[in-house]
């Protein structure tokens, strides 16, 4: 059994060494011009056989094997040994100077043989030298090509790893946006309703029951939407996994109705054929309206909100305008202990409580990414009159539901 790490020539080296040895021995036994050995054919065959065995080590000791084969070629004619050994020197040696030196050694040996052999001309010696050195040149080029291919493969592996990492980060960001969209809006409404109930419990059990029912409905809807998101992420597979489609532009009306129930004055204006809007664009428009209404509920101070939807020139324009916040109108003695706040005061107290909720910092950023992913334009910022406006232009000329 071979010890771990022990060296052994591979099958290709063994095959080439056997072939070169067989060719060299046969050639030495059939000719009388074996360089320095002349007509001593058996001796030339032994020398070439020894050189052929050394080719087994051409990868491990390329320069040494090439130098010995150069000497073998001077003593006995062994062109195959020289070509294979010089190729190995160029391909596997790390020293460029050593490759040049051993190539020159082969050329000098061939010139010396030509001077001692009357049958060898200098021109033929130079031709053989160039032929032999071509093996080392091919070896060097092969090594460079292999290094280039390996570097390219490593670059592809690194790029693939970076792409996988970016995909993971993008997926995490997408999940964070989905969770934010689902949780932020519903929880904000629940806080508004709970805050309203906190300062108006004295209005009677019917009022408390109504507001508590709304809180329960908001919580149930939040759980249903969370379950739908988890089902889409395949984190909760099974027969009970939700298959409901994403919210669309036609459901913005229900979104506005829910905000009105929470005490927010919302006006909805629709212009154009909203039924022609593709599902992907409608889902983004819904998220724009949802996030804008959530922010208006939390930070608008009870100011009226106008949601305008317009289909024009192959685009859906969503414009959510929050007017300047009105002057504070809570009674001085209204508070959690008063228990008899009017509905307007109760909803104002609830919105104030919702405005103190910490933000995730991904709302408007997520909206911009969603809109720009569809090739649209997104703008959000304060108005000159002190209000706030969110505008999203969503083109859908090249998008279909198929």
Question: Does the CA dihedral 365-367-369-372 come out positive or negative?
Answer: negative
Asked if pLDDT for residue 75 goes beyond 90, the answer is: no
Q: Please enumerate in sequence order all residues whose Cβ is within 8 A of that of 316, keeping only pairs 6 or more positions apart, or say none.
A: 249, 274, 277, 281, 282, 285, 309, 310, 393, 394, 396
The tokens for 62 are 């390329």
Residue 328: predicted pLDDT: 54
> Measured between alpha carbons, how far is 190 from 193 in angstroms, rounded to an integer?
5
Model confidence pLDDT, tens digit, residues 206-240: 777 777 777 777 777 777 777 766 665 554 444 44
Domain locations in the chain as residue ranges: 11-120, 168-395
Q: Does the global pTM surpass 0.75?
A: no
How far apart are the C-alpha atoms of 281 and 151, rounded to whole Å? Answer: 43
Highest mean pLDDT (candidates 118-132, 175-189, 223-237): 118-132
> For 255-270, what is the mean pLDDT?
84
Considering only residues 401 and 322, tell me which one the structure prediction assigns the higher pLDDT.
322
The mean pLDDT of 244-248, rounded to a whole number, is 65
User: How does DSSP classify residue 300?
Assistant: S
DSSP per-residue string spanning 68-121: HHHHHHHHS--HHHHHHHHHHHHHH-S-HHHHHHHHHHHHHHHHHHHHH-TT--
Contact 197, 208 (CB under 8 A): yes
Mean pLDDT of 66-70: 88
Residue 316 has pLDDT above 90, yes or no: yes
CA atoms within 13 A on the CB side of 263: 29
Alpha-carbon distance of 63 to 99, in angstroms, equals 7
The dihedral region occupied by 372, where left means phi > 0, alpha psi between -120 and 50, and beta the remainder, is: alpha
Convert the pLDDT of each residue in 387-401 to its tens digit. 899 999 999 876 655
Region 57-75: what's the mean pLDDT?
Answer: 86
Burial class (CB in 10 A: 0-12, 13-18, 19+), 298: buried
| DSSP label at residue 201 | G
pLDDT computed for residue 390 by the predictor: 93
Residue 124's pLDDT is 77
The second-level CATH assignment, the architecture, of 168-395 is: 2-Layer Sandwich (3.30)
126 burial level (CB within 10 Å; 0-12, 13-18, 19+): middle
């Amino acid at each position: 059994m071979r010890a771990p790490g022990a060296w052994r020539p591979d099958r290709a080296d063994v095959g080439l060494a056997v072939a070169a040895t067989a060719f060299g021995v046969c050639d030495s036994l059939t000719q009388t011009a074996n360089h320095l050995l002349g007509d001593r054919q058996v001796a030339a065959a032994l020398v070439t056989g020894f050189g052929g065995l050394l080719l087994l080590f051409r990868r491990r000791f390329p320069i040494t094997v090439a130098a010995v084969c150069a000497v073998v070629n001077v003593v006995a004619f062994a062109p195959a040994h020289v070509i294979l050994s010089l190729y190995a020197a160029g391909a596997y040696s790390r020293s460029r100077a050593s490759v040049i030196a051993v190539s020159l050694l082969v050329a000098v040996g061939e010139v010396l043989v030509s001077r001692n052999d009357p049958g060898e001309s200098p021109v033929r010696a130079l031709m053989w030298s160039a032929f032999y050195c071509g093996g080392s040149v091919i070896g060097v080029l092969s090594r460079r090509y292999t290094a280039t291919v390996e570097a390219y493969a490593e670059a592809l592996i690194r790029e693939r790893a970076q792409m996988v990492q970016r995909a993971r980060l993008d997926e995490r960001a997408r999940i964070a946006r989905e969770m934010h969209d689902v949780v932020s809006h519903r929880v904000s409404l629940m806080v508004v309703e709970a805050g309203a109930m906190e300062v108006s419990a004295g209005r009677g059990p019917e009022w408390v029951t109504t507001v508590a029912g709304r809180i329960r409905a908001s919580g149930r809807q939040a759980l249903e939407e969370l379950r739908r998101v988890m089902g889409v992420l395949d984190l909760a597979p099974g027969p009970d996994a939700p298959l409901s489609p994403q919210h669309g532009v036609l459901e913005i009306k229900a979104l506005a109705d829910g905000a009105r129930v929470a005490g927010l004055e919302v006006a909805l204006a629709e212009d154009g054929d909203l039924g022609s809007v593709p599902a992907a664009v409608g889902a983004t428009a819904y998220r724009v309206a949802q996030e804008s209404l959530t922010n208006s509920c939390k930070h608008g101070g009870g100011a009226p909100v106008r949601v305008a939807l317009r289909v024009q020139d192959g685009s859906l324009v969503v414009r959510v305008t929050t007017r300047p916040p009105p002057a504070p109108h809570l009674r001085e003695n209204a508070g959690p202990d008063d228990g008899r706040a009017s509905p307007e005061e109760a909803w104002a107290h609830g919105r104030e409580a919702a405005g103190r909720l910490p933000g995730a910092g991904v709302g408007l950023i997520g909206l911009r990414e969603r809109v720009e992913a569809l090739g649209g334009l997104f703008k959000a910022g304060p108005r000159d009159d002190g209000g706030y406006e969110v505008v999203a232009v969503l083109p859908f000329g090249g998008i279909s539901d198929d």
